[in-house]
């Protein structure tokens, strides 16, 4: 068999330990799909694979045990899934156009979860539309609230929902529930003074516990959506580490612009002697200040946004 492995991997198929067998990674931006697509995945698994589906760590499916010479056939069968999930594609029936930029993960978000501040899957799809297909190795994840169930701090871009609580002191009955919840579950940003509540903005992480627990609707959410953007978290060999906060109280459009700008930065600075270089290591090499210059190009942040002046990542060093 003569097959270009680079083309195989770019097409979202894996070179596996079992010679002549491959596995297809099906991306599901935002981790949500119509159940009907499972029928197609089952068909591929049963007829071309080993009958199994692996649930990937990035909320996709991996169909294992596919013969390498069946890639074209499988690409034709998977087409309705690619179209149905609105995955950008250059040519129909050729499967996935790239694999470097990984599936955009999201927690279940505010379609279901009471704690979430926004519809995570929808925002994930918007990001997917903006950055896929792309060969650069970038991982993005979105979580509805600072509980961070999807673990965005282990990603290059971690997006955490924030709400800006609004306080109507006329509606407040001084029950103290918000203060208690904020102190016990969150950061202790609320204090009671003269029977009314004061919020320390710099301590507030926008988790919304005050709103969730207010029995009189004295605490409500702002109509605007805000996010915490944490960057350059990673697992891996060299220096696994959690993402650090880059911008607090940032808006959706600015996040997308920053991620797109990051691709320009990668294009400029990536070490092309390596098969792939992960964005975080590029930032380590150029320094954060240079990255920040590129990332914020033409980004118009609202006055609410608070940008880190510098970032020093921690993590494990060997």
Partner 1 sequence: MKIEISKEDFNKSLHRLGDEYRIYAPVAMAYKGTFSDTDSIRYKEINTLDEIEFNLKSHFSPKEVILPITQVLFYFTEDQYKEPETEKKKLLVFLRACDIHAVKRMDQIYLENGQRDPYYQEVRDTVKFVLIGCEKSYRNCFCVSMGTNKTEDYSLGIKPVGDQVLLDIKDEELNAYFFGEEKDFEMNYVTSNDIKVLIPEPHQIAKDIAEAPLWREYDERCVACGKCNFVCSTCTCFRMQDIFYKDNENNGERRRVWASCQVDGYTDMAGGHSFRKRHGDRMRYKVLHKVYDYNKRFGYHMCVGCGRCDDACPQYISFSTCVNKLHDLGKEER
Task: Name the site residues for partner 1 (rule: CB under 8 A).
Answer: 110, 114, 116-119, 161, 163, 169-177, 194-195, 208, 211-218, 220-223
Q: DSSP code of 272? A: T
In DSSP terms, 24 is beta-bridged to: 13, 63
What is the C-alpha end-to-end distance of the chain, expressed in Å?
41
3-state secondary structure of 13: strand
Q: Could you tell me how far CA 200 lies from the centroid of its own chain?
A: 28
Q: Minimum Å distance from CB 215 to partner 1?
A: 4
Separation between Cα atoms, residue 106 and residue 121, nearest integer Å: 6
Q: Where are the alpha helices (DSSP H) in the chain?
A: 5-10, 37-47, 71-84, 120-131, 177-185, 209-213, 252-269, 279-286, 288-295
Of 212 and 307, which has the nearer Cβ to partner 1? Answer: 212
Q: Minimum Å distance from CB 91 to partner 1?
A: 38
Of 42 and 147, which has the nearer Cβ to partner 1? Answer: 147
Q: Minimum Å distance from CB 20 to partner 1?
A: 50
Inter-CA distances, 9 with 24, 97, 280, Å: 9, 10, 22
Of 173 and 289, which has the nearer Cβ to partner 1? Answer: 173
Q: Minimum Å distance from CB 167 to partner 1?
A: 12
Contact 175, 137 (CB under 8 A): no
How buried is 24 (Cβ within 10 angstroms: 0-12 exposed, 13-18 middle, 19+ buried)? buried
Q: Minimum Å distance from CB 153 to partner 1?
A: 21
Of 119 and 244, which has the nearer Cβ to partner 1? Answer: 119
Of 175 and 304, which has the nearer Cβ to partner 1? Answer: 175
Q: Minimum Å distance from CB 161 to partner 1?
A: 8
3-state secondary structure of 296: coil
Contact 81, 37 (CB under 8 A): yes
* Sheet strand arrangement including 226-231: 105-106, 140-143, 157-162, 226-231, 244-250, 306-307
Of 114 and 314, which has the nearer Cβ to partner 1? Answer: 114
Separation between Cα atoms, residue 121 and residue 29, nearest integer Å: 7
Of 118 and 288, which has the nearer Cβ to partner 1? Answer: 118
Q: Minimum Å distance from CB 105 to partner 1?
A: 20
Cis status of the peptide bond prior to 277, with omega within 30 of 0: no
In DSSP terms, 313 is beta-bridged to: none
Q: Minimum Å distance from CB 249 to partner 1?
A: 16
Of 62 and 119, which has the nearer Cβ to partner 1? Answer: 119
């Amino acid at each position: 068999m003569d097959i270009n492995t680079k083309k195989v991997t770019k097409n979202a198929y894996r070179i596996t330990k079992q010679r002549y067998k491959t596995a297809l990674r099906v991306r599901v931006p935002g981790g949500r799909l119509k159940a009907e697509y499972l029928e197609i995945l089952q068909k591929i698994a049963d007829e071309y694979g080993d009958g199994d589906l692996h649930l990937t760590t990035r909320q996709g499916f991996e169909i294992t045990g596919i013969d390498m010479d069946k890639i074209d056939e499988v690409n034709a069968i998977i087409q309705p899934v690619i179209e149905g999930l609105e995955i950008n594609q250059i040519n129909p029936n050729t499967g996935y156009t790239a694999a470097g930029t990984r599936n955009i993960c999201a927690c279940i978000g505010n379609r279901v979860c009471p704690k979430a501040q926004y519809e995570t899957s929808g925002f994930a799809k918007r990001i997917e539309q903006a950055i896929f297909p792309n060969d650069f190795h970038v991982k993005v994840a979105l979580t509805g609230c600072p509980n961070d169930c999807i673990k965005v701090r282990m990603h290059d871009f971690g997006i955490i929902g924030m709400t800006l609580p609004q306080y109507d002191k006329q509606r407040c009955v001084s029950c103290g529930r918000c203060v208690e919840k904020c102190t016990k579950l969150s950061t202790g940003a609320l204090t009671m003074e003269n029977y009314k509540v004061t919020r320390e903005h710099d301590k507030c992480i926008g988790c919304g516990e005050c709103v969730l627990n207010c029995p009189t609707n004295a605490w409500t959410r702002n109509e605007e959506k805000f996010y915490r953007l944490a960057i350059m978290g990673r697992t891996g060999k060299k220096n696994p580490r959690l993402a650090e906060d880059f911008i607090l109280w940032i808006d959706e459009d600015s996040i997308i612009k920053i991620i797109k700008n990051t691709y320009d930065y990668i294009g400029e600075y990536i070490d092309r002697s390596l098969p792939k270089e992960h964005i975080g290591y590029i930032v380590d090499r150029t320094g954060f200040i240079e990255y920040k210059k590129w990332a914020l190009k033409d980004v118009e942040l609202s006055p609410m946004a608070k940008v880190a002046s510098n970032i020093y990542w921690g993590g494990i060093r060997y």
